[in-house]
Amino acid sequence: MSKLGNLGARLHRGEVGYDFVKNRKIWYGISILITITAIVGLAVRGLNMGIEFQGGAVFTTPKNTAVSVAQAEEHAEEASGHDAIVQKLGDGSLRIQVAGIDTGKSDQIKEDLAEDLKVDAEQINADLVGPSWGDQIANKAWQGLGIFLILVVIYLAIAFEWRMALAAFVALIHDITITVGIYALVGFEVTPGTVIGLLTILGYSLYDTVVVFDSLKEQTRDIGKQTRWTYSDVANRSINSTLVRSVNTTVVALLPVAGLLFIGGGVLGAGMLNDISLSLFVGLAAGAYSSIFIATPLVADLKELEPQMKALKKRVLAKRAQAVAKGEPTEAELAEGGAYAEEAEDIEEAEDAMEPQDAAPAVVGPRNQPASRSRGRGRPSGKRR
């Protein structure tokens, strides 16, 4: 744990780090591939909408019903004339779901099921949902999701700027698409619990994204007044400085959700837990990924389209090219222990773009602080004198 704490402190100070922004094309490609797979799964298999969204009836038998799931499914289809989904719950009872039936026929179906399953009809609990009510629930769910996304974009545009709002919106759509696609591929039932879980994971995803954006906003407040870092450099430092926090919060949130999904849903057979736990598990993982690998690199791409940021990047690369030509360590190498190095092609482009008047004059007077810190490094003892 102490090593992890030291790593987090070093990441926060910029002493170590991974260049997420530089490798953004890799992350974009991975996200596009996963998103396409999710969309194909959604188009081919579709969503298994629950009773709440399409109407029908749910019959719950008494505890320890002595009938297998396959037998109960066969009896339910014979009694209703529709396809049935049967789940065995943790207490031994059966949850029989029949979609698309007329609720007026539910009493007769209940009597037939009681006879086939050899239980008392009074002990079978029936929950009925009309088709029109199911349509209203579905429409309300879509409206709630749309209103949520609009409010998020407006808030981020006011609190930060429109580029960050756009990047966060893209990350949210990325998370929603992947989660819904996984539901289609796995075949889990979509219930109101699924919608609740989806809205919950969007909140978690926004939390991680806003933490990075807040750090980025603070560190780029006067970025145009210096020539040490480009906007992408600062964005990368913001990701690294909040990386341990994001990983810790995601892992802590995933552990109980994994318990719900694999133990509650798989071992205990609690079918209702599957609906919310799968959306939480997939969404939390996708949200943590998108906040680190998608949202912030996308902000850097959008921001460096500005003329001001383009000019800053040109000045920074030109300065680094001068340092490389003189054999001196660059500002980035000094700050990060040499772990950071610009791409050779960027430095060459900066050298070609340099004009004669941009050449640095001869150093007069005392050397600056970064150069003085490199003294004594070549001595065997490594001590400064």
pLDDT, tens digit, 9 for 90 and up, residues 86-97: 877 767 788 888
Over range 137-146, report the average pLDDT: 79
Residue 382 has pLDDT above 50, yes or no: no
Most confident of 207-216, 238-247, 254-263, 293-302: 293-302
pLDDT of residue 35: 92
How far is Cα 307 from Cα 151, in angstroms, rounded to an integer? 30
pLDDT of residue 30: 92
pLDDT, tens digit, 9 for 90 and up, residues 242-251: 888 888 888 8
pLDDT, tens digit, 9 for 90 and up, residues 301-339: 999 998 998 888 898 888 888 888 877 665 555 444 433
pLDDT of residue 7: 56
pLDDT of residue 169: 92
User: Do 49 and 38 form a contact (C-beta atoms < 8 A)?
Assistant: no
Dihedral angle of Cα 188, 193, 197, 199, to the nearest 10 degrees: 120
Over range 273-298, report the average pLDDT: 85
Residue 285 has pLDDT above 60, yes or no: yes
Over range 78-92, report the average pLDDT: 77
> Residue 286: which of 184, 176, 207 has the closest Cα?
176
pLDDT of residue 86: 81
Q: Cα dihedral sign for 172, 175, 176, 177?
A: positive
User: Do 168 and 152 form a contact (C-beta atoms < 8 A)?
Assistant: yes
Residue 340 has pLDDT above 50, yes or no: no
More confident residue, 316 or 262: 316
More confident residue, 373 or 81: 81
Average pLDDT across the chain, whole number: 76
Alpha helices in the chain (DSSP H): 2-13, 24-45, 51-54, 69-80, 106-117, 131-159, 162-186, 192-219, 231-241, 243-258, 271-290, 296-303, 307-325, 331-335, 344-353, 369-373
Q: Is the pTM of this model over 0.85?
A: no
Residue 376 has pLDDT above 60, yes or no: no
More confident residue, 47 or 129: 47
pLDDT of residue 297: 92
Over range 165-182, report the average pLDDT: 90
Confidence of residue 273 (pLDDT cuts 50, 70, 90): low
> Residue 287: which of 204, 343, 217 has the closest Cα?
204
Which 3 state secondary structure label does DSSP give 152? helix
pLDDT of residue 141: 75
In the CATH hierarchy, which top-level class contains the domain 56-129?
alpha beta
Q: For tokens 């700050």, what's the residue?
A: 335
In the chain, where the domains are located: 2-49+133-303, 56-129, 307-356
Tokens coding 316: 């920074």
User: Do 296 and 21 form a contact (C-beta atoms < 8 A)?
Assistant: yes
Alpha helices in 295-378 (DSSP H): 296-303, 307-325, 331-335, 344-353, 369-373
Lowest-confidence region among 64-68, 75-79, 161-165, 242-246: 64-68
Residue 345 has pLDDT above 50, yes or no: no
Residue 374 has pLDDT above 90, yes or no: no
User: Do 279 and 194 form a contact (C-beta atoms < 8 A)?
Assistant: yes
Q: Which amino acid is at 146?
A: G
The topology (CATH level 3) of 2-49+133-303 is Multidrug efflux transporter AcrB transmembrane fold (1.20.1640)
pLDDT of residue 167: 92
pLDDT of residue 205: 80
Distances, alpha carbon 158 to alpha carbons 152, 154, 169, in Å? 10, 6, 14
Residue 29 has pLDDT above 90, yes or no: yes
Lowest-confidence region among 75-79, 172-176, 297-301, 304-308: 75-79
Over range 331-350, report the average pLDDT: 44
Distances, alpha carbon 71 to alpha carbons 50, 51, 84, 110, 212, in Å? 22, 21, 11, 16, 54
pLDDT of residue 383: 42
